[in-house]
Amino acid sequence: MNFIQHNIWLVIIAVLSGFMLIFPGLRGKASGAGEVDPTGAVQLINHENALVLDVREANEFSSGHIANAKHIPLGQLSDSAKTLEKYKERPIVVNCRSGSRSAMACSTLSKLGFTKVYNLKGGILAWQQAQMPTVK
């Protein structure tokens, strides 16, 4: 106890550092979405019939996308959510270029009641880096 009283700033810094390490994992859980790497996404697609949702803009999508991906740009997702209702019980792997827009899309889908939503960590860039196929 004496150590804590004399080194309160060190203790505060240690606690904050620990929280900052844990927070990114908690943020994904709080939004109702998980993250998957390209290998995990392939497993969801092959074993659980996951839908791939690409939220990039049309020109990005046409330059190359994951096979059988459904294309709904992030800006149109809220308005087009009804078209996804039939996939509500299936896992949905959401991707964009790098993973930022798809994280926002995952949050939107979670708020709309989709429970099996996964953000493709690193987006289509990670997918291509893992040498996974894309189609045009």
Q: What is the per-residue DSSP string for 30-88?
A: HTTEEEE-HHHHHHHHHHH-PEEEE-S-HHHHHT-B-TT-EE--GGGHHHHGGGGGGGT
Catalytic residue, chosen from 96, 105, 109, 124, is 96
Length of the chain: 136
106 noted as active-site residue = no
Catalytic center residues: 96
